[in-house]
């Protein structure tokens, strides 16, 4: 019975997301048409005359009224066709499926690094206020918010690649001597292990360290700050004081009561940080020549590549809907009082 209710609540949440996704589709379609520039001019080349440009515009369907273009776009979307990118000549679906795992791998590794550092640091800062650990937490939070990611990335490249020579050149996901592992998940670390290509795995891991560290230092700040604030609020609550007066073990109070109740806002912050990092890691991808979805979207915007921009926004919208659903499910596991259908 509980499983049926949970599945029904998941289905209800997905239905709630349909109007949101449709609204995003409409807004994205209108905004891309309002962008300066003409895709037909870019596709025709600098030497094309007006007649050639008009013919290409007709081939691309850009000479039709906007409602007709939108209906055609929706019809293709229902069939799973996101169109063809004019900048690469490849189907947008293929480009997204190729580039999205690269961005996801970078973002997930960066978040793993952030969580492993930020959560213990925030807990220690909350339990030891005004000590050197608390001051260290505040310094890291301030530095993480203040330093731009491109500056951090360039600094790490300068120190660990140019000066020390410990890191590989910032030129993508693998050394030029290695071929990409057979695609299973799109994550090189996982695919290389599945294929048993351990040298390729070491190369992929080495190339991932600096960009993940750059993005991780940026995402570490909000997670540490929220962990510290949530723990301070919970530790000052009445039920914690009652548990202390009852003589419960300090470790049990901290882990079983305080930390568990502080996890909900931390998970919310983690979901927001993940969403923001996945869409905003374009600077990191540019610094390290990382073939991710962020740099792909920026390049598409520059040339007014309608299909690519619309496909990127739709992919992000679906990913965010899925992420919010996962966060809601995590809430119910951490705190049984939270109901998915509420």
Q: Is 337 a residue whose pLDDT tops 60?
A: no
Report pLDDT for 153.
84
What would the mean pLDDT of 99-107 be, rounded to a whole number?
Answer: 87
Among 78, 110, 133, the domain boundary falls at: 78
The answer to whether residues 43 and 107 belong to one domain is: no
Where does the pLDDT of residue 338 fall: very low under 50, low under 70, confident under 90, or very high at 90 and above?
A: low
Whether residue 37 is found in the same domain as residue 182 = no
In a domain, 112, yes or no: yes
Q: Is residue 337 part of a domain?
A: no
In a domain, 340, yes or no: no
Looking at the fold, whether 131 and 234 belong to one and the same domain comes out as yes
pLDDT tens digits, one per residue of 144-162: 777 778 888 888 888 888 8
**Residues 278 and 143 both lie in one domain:** yes
Task: Specify the CATH number for the domain of residue 168.
Answer: 1.10.3720.10
In terms of residues, how long is the chain? 342
Which domain covers residue 293, as residue numbers?
100-302
Same domain for 107 and 179, yes or no, is: yes
The domain total for the chain is: 2
Q: Quick one: pLDDT at residue 41?
A: 65
Note the pLDDT of residue 43: 64
pLDDT at 279: 67
- Interval 218-239: pLDDT, tens: 888 888 888 888 888 887 777 7
Cβ-contact 56, 44 below 8 angstroms: yes
Do 22 and 104 have their domain in common?
A: no
The domain boundary residue, chosen from 47, 78, 109? 78
User: Residue 104: inside a domain, yes or no?
Assistant: yes
342, pLDDT greater than 60: no
Res. 3: pLDDT tops 60: no
Label residue 45 by pLDDT band (50, 70, 90): low
| 223 in Cβ contact with 273 (< 8 Å) | yes
Q: Are residues 70 and 111 in the same domain?
A: no
The band of 48, judged by pLDDT with boundaries at 50, 70 and 90, is low
Residue 334 lies in a domain: no
Question: Is residue 205 included in any domain, yes or no?
Answer: yes
**Residue 170 included in any domain:** yes
Does 20 lie in the same domain as 144? no
């Amino acid at each position: 019975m509980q499983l049926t209710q949970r599945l029904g609540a998941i289905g209800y949440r997905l239905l709630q997301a349909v109007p949101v996704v449709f609204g995003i589709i409409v807004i994205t379609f209108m905004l891309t048409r309002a962008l300066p520039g003409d895709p037909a001019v870019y596709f025709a080349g600098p030497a094309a005359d007006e007649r050639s440009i008009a013919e290409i515009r007709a081939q691309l369907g850009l000479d039709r009224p906007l409602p007709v273009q939108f209906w055609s776009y929706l019809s293709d979307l229902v069939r799973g066709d996101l169109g063809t990118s004019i900048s690469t000549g490849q189907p947008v679906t293929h480009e997204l499926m190729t580039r999205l795992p690269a961005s996801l791998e970078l973002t997930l590794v960066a978040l793993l690094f952030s969580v492993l550092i930020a959560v213990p640091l925030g807990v220690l800062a909350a339990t030891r206020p005004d000590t050197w650990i608390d001051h260290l937490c505040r310094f890291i939070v301030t530095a993480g918010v203040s330093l731009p990611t491109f500056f951090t990335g360039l600094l790490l490249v300068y120190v660990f690649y140019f000066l020390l020579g410990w890191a590989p050149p910032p030129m993508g996901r693998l050394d030029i001597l290695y071929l990409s592992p057979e695609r299973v998940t799109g994550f090189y670390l996982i695919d290389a292990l599945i294929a048993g290509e351990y040298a390729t795995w070491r190369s992929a891991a080495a190339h991932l360290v600096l960009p993940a560290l750059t993005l991780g230092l940026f995402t570490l700040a909000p997670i540490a700050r929220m962990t510290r604030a949530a723990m301070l609020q919970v530790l000052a609550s009445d039920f914690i004081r009652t548990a202390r007066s009852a003589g419960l073990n300090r470790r049990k109070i901290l882990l079983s009561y305080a930390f568990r109740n502080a996890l909900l806002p931390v998970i919310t912050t983690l979901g927001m940080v993940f969403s923001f990092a996945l869409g905003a890691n374009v600077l990191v991808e540019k610094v390290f020549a990382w073939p991710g979805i962020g740099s792909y979207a920026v390049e598409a915007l520059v040339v007014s590549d309608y299909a690519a921009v619309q496909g990127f926004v739709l992919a992000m919208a679906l990913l965010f809907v899925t992420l919010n659903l996962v966060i809601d499910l995590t809430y119910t596991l951490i705190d049984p009082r939270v109901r998915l259908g509420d």
